[in-house]
Amino acid sequence: MRRVKLDKIDRKILRDLQDDGRMPNVELARRAGISAPPCLRRLRSLEESGHIRGYHADIAPEALGFGVTVFAHVGLTSQAEADLVAFEKLVESWPLVRECHMLAGETDFLLKIVAEDWDSYNRFLTSTLTAAPTVSHVKSMLAIRTSKYKYGVPVDVDAAD
């Protein structure tokens, strides 16, 4: 991502789009205190600089039958870069894995996995995850409920760059 100095207006645009990615440009411009054409130019610049990576719908998992969320700590038998990259590429092919984070410490990766129910997660665990090359152990933690879910980052509109 190329470094771009953000001013207060850019930060307002980022904050407001993070809260509502479908906000019309006219409303976004009104909130930022500028007219629509310069707002659109700033928006395109924020996209091109990599500050905005994309736009997505926040879909309720349970509405599509995914009633279980599991966080799995995965340990590998090798931490060689080639093995780490190979595992990350393999994870990309697993639709149930929604997030994959490489960690420092005892656990090599933290995976966020959604499944229809505990049995379907267990099938994924035993037939796919633990069967993957270099996986030595998996520790599963079932999410009981989510009390806070905020995507993105806190955007301080008044921060100086």
Please state which of the four CATH numbers 3.40.50.300, 3.30.2010.20, 3.40.50.970, 3.30.70.920 is assigned to the domain occupying 67-142: 3.30.70.920
Instruction: Please state, in angstroms and rounded to a whole number, the distance separating the CA atoms of residues 160 and 6.
Output: 8
pLDDT in tens, 148-158: 998 899 999 98
pLDDT of res. 137: 97
8-48, CATH topology level: Arc Repressor Mutant, subunit A (1.10.10)
pLDDT surpasses 80 at 138: yes
Write the DSSP string, 15-60.
Answer: HHHHH-TT--HHHHHHHHTS-HHHHHHHHHHHHHTTS---------
pLDDT of res. 81: 97
pLDDT of res. 2: 57
pLDDT of res. 161: 64
Q: What does the buried/exposed string (b/e) look like for 64-75 if buried means 16 or more CB atoms within 10 Å of the residue's CB?
A: eebebbbebbbe
pLDDT category of residue 160 using cuts at 50, 70 and 90? low
Q: Which two tokens stand for residue 104?
A: 């420092």
Domain ranges of the chain: 8-48, 67-142
**Percent of the chain residues topping a pLDDT of 90:** 91
pLDDT in tens, 26-61: 999 999 999 999 999 999 999 999 999 999 999 999
User: Average pLDDT, stretch 84-88?
Assistant: 98
In this structure, what is the dihedral angle of CA atoms 74, 58, 13, 161, given to the nearest 10 degrees?
-10
**Percent of the chain residues topping a pLDDT of 70:** 96
Inter-axis angle of helices 36-48 and 8-19, to 10 degrees? 80
pLDDT in tens, 8-29: 999 999 999 999 999 999 999 9
